């Protein structure tokens, strides 16, 4: 998930509580009053909010997770790596044929919100529907992995996807084009939510979906709000992760994030039973430090997305890895922390690896040991050894205009200048940034600042989207334009490994091997901070992802 853009409403254990005087995340009780009832309001700057699983890129723990179940889901807990656990299925899948075939059995007695039974045919239909061009835009890992997926255009012309078999009402068998050990994670993505067979052809299906989670969409007012009420056919005994506590959940659309934060600080009326889906801005974080009451309702993650400086490895002097290594010492990561949140603790810990904390298989290492402020002398020395005794001139640093990126870019620019690396900053709006950095086949940028939140908690989702050569251009997020056939082969081998421990070792080795080439400079593992009203309880953020788990939130009664 690309986090160069603002992310809202995406995204168990103890509450990671307010950052108070010491500005450090700490643990406090999650709340004793976990009784059902009340109306929870989620304040979001999104102006549209359709619950169409085929079109969704949402995380398993956030908004779509309230209305749609998938074959598997995530169990999130403080101090533990996030696990894949059964959801609609009885287990997390049985692999055969070396990881090319995966079989899932649905739990008995599952029902949709309209009272009809959920069958394997409904799961198959939901998956097939995600291939239809009219319903594109959702996470699509499965589209190239399923045999016959490339070129398939969905079920509405009567054609089936033969690689998804349903031998009976409770069994789904997937035939993949190659072994893939992370398939249990893939089936936790939104497209694996069931849609009643034959339904969902209309463009606005997401405004009135047939649901499988604890809630159903009872009202959809475009640009205003979406109201969820209880699904009377949801069986909590079959659902080990969702609590379904509020009687009603209201998404209030088109809210200005700054105004929302101020309303939640004031904590009056319905806002006492609300939380913001948007991050608290650095300026507001600074203001909250002087407000003890609001600070107690500020929840900050332990870690989060990897923020990094990408070096365009296909451009000019940056084609030389020895030149790129100088950037590892030239960057002042502590200055980036301050530019990100005004405070190092709230911004996030300094990053030295590509695989983010909270993901199984991550190994902690630091190939370029230096002070948080960097070592400009060493950077200049490395540049001289690489044939650039006078440093580098005229490099272009391209950033988006959102998420405080211009200020972050200035911190990078100032640090690089100390190492005789002189850069110009170009700020682009969201569409122009994507056109230049992810789409343009011949971009003119040398450097870019961005961040990446994996779509599921596996090193695969950290590394493949950012460093596989297949992800260069065409909308891919290999912003370093890094291409190494050996790395491509190692990625494919790790993806094909079914044993989780063996796969983790392979991914950790790939992490190190990529960083030896220095296509990016890891900066920080960004922390996210969110505000909630005083009646909101069980507002939890685990080790991964750095978002509140919507499925667990309740209201004091």
At the fourth CATH level, which superfamily is domain 306-526?
Dipeptide-binding Protein; Domain 3 (3.10.105.10)
Sign of CA dihedral 49, 285, 366, 383: positive
Query: Tokens for 341?
Result: 């949140």
Cα atoms found within 13 Å of the Cα of residue 517, Cβ hemisphere only: 21
- The pTM for the full model equals 0.89
Q: In this predicted model, what pLDDT tens digit does every residue of 67-125 receive, in sequence order?
A: 999 999 999 877 778 899 999 999 999 999 999 999 999 999 999 999 999 999 999 99
What lies within 8 Å, CB to CB, of 47 at 6+ separation is: 223, 253, 254
Beta strands, E only, 259-303: 274-276, 298-300
Strand 225-230 versus strand 298-300 pairing type: unpaired
Which of 548, 526, 31, 545 lies closest to 282, judged by CA? 526
Write down the domain spans for the chain.
47-249, 306-526
Q: What is 448-509 written as a DSSP string?
A: EEEEE--SSSSHHHHHHHHH-GGGSSTT---TT----HHHHHHHHHHHT--SHHHHHHHHHH
Residue 257: per-residue pLDDT: 87
Contact 555, 273 (CB under 8 A): yes
> Between 333-341 and 405-418, two packed helices, what is the crossing angle to 10 degrees?
160
Query: Tokens for 487?
Result: 């790395």
Query: Tokens for 164?
Result: 């998804």
Cα-Cα-Cα-Cα torsion 55, 61, 64, 66, nearest 10 degrees, comes to 170
Q: In this predicted model, what pLDDT tens digit does every residue of 356-393 receive, in sequence order?
A: 988 888 999 999 999 999 999 999 999 999 999 999 99
Query: Tokens for 257?
Result: 């994030």
Which of 92, 103, 6 lies closest to 46, judged by CA? 6
Matching residue, tokens 């959809």: 220
Query: Tokens for 33?
Result: 């009053």
47-249: CATH topology is D-Maltodextrin-Binding Protein; domain 2 (3.40.190)
Query: Tokens for 27?
Result: 């643990």
Average pLDDT, rounded, for the chain: 92
CA separation for the pair 307, 315 (Å, rounded): 21
Mean pLDDT by 10-residue block, N- to C-terminus, for the chain (557 residues)? Answer: 41 28 35 83 91 94 97 87 94 97 98 98 98 93 96 96 98 97 97 97 96 98 96 97 97 93 95 94 82 93 93 98 98 95 86 92 95 97 98 97 92 98 96 93 96 93 96 94 98 95 96 98 95 95 92 95
CA separation for the pair 280, 290 (Å, rounded): 15
CA separation for the pair 460, 451 (Å, rounded): 16
Residue 281: per-residue pLDDT: 82
Contact 53, 193 (CB under 8 A): yes
Residue 345: per-residue pLDDT: 80
Query: Tokens for 182?
Result: 């992370």
Count other C-beta atoms under 10 Å from residue 283's C-beta.
13
Residue 1: per-residue pLDDT: 60
CA separation for the pair 263, 137 (Å, rounded): 33
Cα atoms found within 13 Å of the Cα of residue 511, Cβ hemisphere only: 25
Query: Tokens for 42?
Result: 């989620």
């Amino acid at each position: 998930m690309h986090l160069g853009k603002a992310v809202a409403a995406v995204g168990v254990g103890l509450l990671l509580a307010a950052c108070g005087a010491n500005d450090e995340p700490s643990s406090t009780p999650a709340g004793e009053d976990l009784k059902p009832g009340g109306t929870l309001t989620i304040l979001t700057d999104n102006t549209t909010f359709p619950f169409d699983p085929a079109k969704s890129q949402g995380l398993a723990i956030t908004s779509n997770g309230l209305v749609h179940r998938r074959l598997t889901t995530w169990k999130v807990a403080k101090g533990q790596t996030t696990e894949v656990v059964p959801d609609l299925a009885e287990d997390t899948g049985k692999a055969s044929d070396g990881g090319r075939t995966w079989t899932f059995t649905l739990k008995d007695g599952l029902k949709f919100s309209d009272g009809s039974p959920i069958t394997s045919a409904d799961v198959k239909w939901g998956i097939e529907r995600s291939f239809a061009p009219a319903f594109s835009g959702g996470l699509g890992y499965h589209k190239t992995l399923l045999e016959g997926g490339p070129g398939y255009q969905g079920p509405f012309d009567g054609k089936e996807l033969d690689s998804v078999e349903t031998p009976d009402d409770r069994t789904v068998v997937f035939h993949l084009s190659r072994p893939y050990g992370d398939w249990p994670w893939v089936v936790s993505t939104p497209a694996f939510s069931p849609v009643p067979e034959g339904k969902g052809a209309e463009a606005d299906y997401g405004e009135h979906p047939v649901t499988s989670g604890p809630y159903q969409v009872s009202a959809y007012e475009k640009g205003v709000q979406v109201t969820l009420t209880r699904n009377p056919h949801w069986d909590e005994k079959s659902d080990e992760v969702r609590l379904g506590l509020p009687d009603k959940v209201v998404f209030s659309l088109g809210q200005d994030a700054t105004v929302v934060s101020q309303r939640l600080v004031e904590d009056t009326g319905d806002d006492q039973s609300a939380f913001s889906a948007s991050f608290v801005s650095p300026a507001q974080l600074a203001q909250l430090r002087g407000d003890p009451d609001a600070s107690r309702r500020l929840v900050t993650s332990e870690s989060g997305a990897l923020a990094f400086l990408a070096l365009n490895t296909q451009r000019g002097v940056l084609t030389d890895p020895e030149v790129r290594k100088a950037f590892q010492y030239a960057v002042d990561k502590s200055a980036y922390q301050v530019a990100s949140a005004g405070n190092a603790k709230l911004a996030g810990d300094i990053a030295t690896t590509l695989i983010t904390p909270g993901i199984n298989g991550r190994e902690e290492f630091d190939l370029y040991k230096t002070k948080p402020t960097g070592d400009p002398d060493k950077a200049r020395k490395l540049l001289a050894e690489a044939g650039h005794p006078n440093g580098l001139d005229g490099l272009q640093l391209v950033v988006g205009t959102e998420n405080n990126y211009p200020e972050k870019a200035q911190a990078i620019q100032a640090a690089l200048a100390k190492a005789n690396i002189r850069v110009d900053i170009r700020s682009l709006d969201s569409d122009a940034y994507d056109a230049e950095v992810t789409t343009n086949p011949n971009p003119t940028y040398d450097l870019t600042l961005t961040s990446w939140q994996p779509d599921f908690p596996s090193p695969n989702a950290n590394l493949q989207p950012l460093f596989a050569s297949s992800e260069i251009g065409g909308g891919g997020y290999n912003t370093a334009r890094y291409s190494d056939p050996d790395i491509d082969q190692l990625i494919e081998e790790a993806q094909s490994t079914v044993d989780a421990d063996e796969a983790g070792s392979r991914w950790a080795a790939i992490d190190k091997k990529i960083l030896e080439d220095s296509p990016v400079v890891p900066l920080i593992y960004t922390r996210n901070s969110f505000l909630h009203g005083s009646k909101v309880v069980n507002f939890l953020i685990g080790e991964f992802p750095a978002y509140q788990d919507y499925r667990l939130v309740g209201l004091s009664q």
